Every structure is written in C-alpha cells, then in structure tokens.
Amino acid sequence: MNILVQKFGGTSVSSHERRLLAVKKILNAKKKGYNVVVVVSAMGRNGYPYATDTLLSLVDDDFKSNNPLAVDLLLNCGEIISTVVMCCELNRSGINCIPLSGGQAGIITDNCYNNASTIKIKTDNILSILKKGMIPVVAGFQGVSEDGFATTLGRGGSDVTAALLGSALKAESIEIYTDVDGIMTADPRIVSDASLIKKMSYDEVFQFADQGAKVIHPRAVEIARKYNIPLVIKNTLSNCDGTIINSSGYCDSNNTITGITSMKNRIQINIKYEDNKSSENYINILNKLAEHKISIDLINVFPNQDIFTIGDQDYDKFDLLMDKLNIKYTYIKDCSKISIIGSRMRGIPGIMAKILNSLNKAKVEVLQTADSHTTIWCLVRSESEKKAIIALHNEFNL
C-alpha cells in the first residue's frame, strides 16, 4: 500500500481558511493515488480556545504538578477536537474519513505522563480504514497506556505521532506541514531574509531540532532516520517544495555552514576549586549532578574549576543540591546557546575565528564556546541572542 502521512501543525488548522488549504493538500495527495493518513495538532497557538497552552491555563500550577494523569487527559482534548473539526472540513469536500484519538490509532505508551514513550503501534484500525478507501484523521501528540489511561508524548509531539505512524505503516514519506516554507538557515522570525534549505540529511536536521529549531521534533527525525523514511517539511500556506530530508540529502549549497539555531533559558555555572577547598564533594560534582538527573552541557573541566550550563528549569534543584554538598558557585542567568551547524565545516580551518570576529564586531560578548565536527556552540546573554544570530547569518552569507 502506498501510504503517505501528512501532519498539520497548530497554525495549519487554526482557522476555517487554513483548514481548507490543508484539505487541498490532502485532496492532491489522494488524486496522486496515495492512501493518506492525516495527523493533526490542536488548533492554533496560545490564546486560541482549544490550543494546548490555553487548555493548560484552565488548571493551576499546584494541580498540574500533582495530577499528571489528569493533565494528560485534559491535553488530549485539544487534538481530539481538531480531528473532528478536520473531518467535518474533509466531509464537506466529499472525502470520507474517520477521526481517531491516539489510542484508537493504536499508539500504546508507558505511563510516563506528559512525556510518554511508545511501547508499540497497533496499525489494525488505520489499515482497515484505509482499505475501505477512507482517510484516518489521527489526533497527534497523544497515546494510551496499556492500562487505558490517556497520555501525551511531550511538546511538539504531533511530529512524533506522524513519524511513529509513518514507520509502523512503512509509508512512502512523511510530510510535516507548518507555517514556514521548510527548514530555513535561521528561524525566519529572527532573521527575516533566512533562506530555505532544500535538501538535508537526517543528522543535520537532528542537530537543528535538538539545538532548538522548533520546526520539527528531534524524536521524529530519529524515528524517520531509523526506518529510513523520507521526511518533507512543507508550508500549508504555499506551494513551495519544502525541505526534503533523507539519508543522502546533503544540503545543495556550497556554504560551510548550513544554518544557525539557538536555545534560550540556559544558566552558566562556574565552580572554582579555590572557593570549595573544604568540600570533599567538589571532585564528585558531575556524578552528583547525574544522580540528581540534572542535565548539563557546554562542559569545560579545568584543573581548578568546572564551567558548564544547566537549563533554567533545573536551577532550583541544582541550588538545593549545591547547598547540601556545601559547594559554592557563581552563575550567569538568562543565557542563550547559539549553534552554528554545518557538516561541511569538518577540517576547515578558521571558522571559529570568523565566528568570534563577527560577534566581536557586533559587540556580542561570548561567555563560552564548544565545538564538534558539525557544530560550533557559543553561549551569549539572551539579550544579545538576536543580534548574534543576525551577525553570524550575514558573516556566512546564508
């Protein structure tokens, strides 16, 4: 069966006009002879009545932290409403379809509410709908646990649903429809003249996604890579070809750098040996952080100090732990990690110098750097993030 998965994000289903554009994409795929499986997100972004953030605002923080099972049930509603509304639009265009919750679509997960992992995918329902010539319209971002409770797959999880179904159904490709033309050299909201990257490898897209580019969920990229199913990122609002991602999809430009992305809410931590001579715990600090599930990155270990970053969300836990271990530290809050990504930078000298010169010219203070074969990271204060990205985007003519 030549199956095509088409996923429509929140902004693609936020209004009747936009849903009609989505219906057009579905009709086109059907005309080409595909058996289409549609995945939808909740309608619109924060402020829209049935968007995920709006639903979350219906209950207070205390309830949220103590009732993850209930919160997941609440969040399931957003995508479920979206599937039914989308089915209504498809019916009006003469297409027969069946709305399915994540559980009905066979996505079985563990009970890790808010961020559940998939245990198995049962494709029977979807296949029987397709065999009848109808379109299954699946609620993204959700599943059901083996004991029958509603779960969610983490923010941006509808991309994961599309990738899971695409792989389980051995789809010809997975199309992710959003509000931009594809993966761009930088977030177009930050760099207005960012250019579209037409072809990319899974590895490069994973770097983009993992380092903060919101346009696709990193887990979706991992799943598509594992099963070698092409991913295509497209714009619901245009007819652009989008970005094609597969194992051979090396970016067609000659640029050493493919693009730039960033992640806010990092805190730089500096622990000096001199300040902590009396604490025998200093030597074990990285182990202790791991034991307390505090994830760190940009790690620089020197004979007399350790410098690394943690996420904002872990700060209270980190501070408590340092207090308990009697370890003193200094920190810089509100930092952004900028990632300059490009698999062709391997072995090319002078890239770091170019980056630092350009940031210096733009009067952006660099707090820390790190590099791998495919990425250079610079930590800057969040207030300079936009300035830094624009300067680097210009410097490398992206």
Residue nearer to Mg ion on the CB measure, 36 or 162: 162
Mention every residue, 6+ apart, whose C-beta is less than 8 A from residue 28. none
Residues in the chain: 398
Binding site partner of 44, from Mg ion, ligand ADP, none, Cβ cut-off 5-8 A by kind: none
Minimum CB separation from Mg ion for residue 222, in Å?
A: 16
Minimum CB separation from Mg ion for residue 26, in Å?
A: 19
| Segment near Mg ion (CB under 5 A); pick from 9-17, 109-117, 225-233, 375-383 | 9-17
Binding site partner of 213, from Mg ion, ligand ADP, none, Cβ cut-off 5-8 A by kind: ligand ADP
Residue nearer to Mg ion on the CB measure, 172 or 179: 179
Verify binding: residue 342, Mg ion, rule CB under 5 A: no
Measured between its terminal Cα atoms, the distance across the chain in Å is 40
Binding site for ligand ADP (CB under 6 A): 9-12, 41, 156, 178-180, 183-184, 186-189, 208, 213-215, 259, 261
Q: Are 38 and 138 in contact (CB under 8 A)?
A: yes
| Segment near Mg ion (CB under 5 A); pick from 5-13, 91-99, 222-230, 279-287 | 5-13
Minimum CB separation from Mg ion for residue 51, in Å?
A: 12
Binding site partner of 189, from ligand ADP, Mg ion, none, Cβ cut-off 5-8 A by kind: ligand ADP
Q: Are 8 and 41 in contact (CB under 8 A)?
A: yes
Minimum CB separation from Mg ion for residue 15, in Å?
A: 17
Verify binding: residue 230, Mg ion, rule CB under 5 A: no
Minimum CB separation from ligand ADP for residue 212, in Å?
A: 7
Residue nearer to Mg ion on the CB measure, 156 or 218: 156
Q: Taking Cα atoms as reference points, which of 34, 32, 137, 124 lies closest to residue 83?
A: 137
| Segment near Mg ion (CB under 5 A); pick from 83-91, 137-145, 151-159, 250-258 | 151-159
Chain Cα centroid distance, residue 183: 12
What is the token pair recorded at 315? 């700060």
What is the token pair recorded at 347? 């072995």
Minimum CB separation from ligand ADP for residue 185, in Å?
A: 7
Distances (CA, A) of 175 to 31, 41, 201: 16, 14, 15
How far apart (Å, rounded) are the C-alpha atoms in residues 157 and 42?
11
H/E element, 341:
strand 330-341
Q: Are 157 and 102 in contact (CB under 8 A)?
A: no
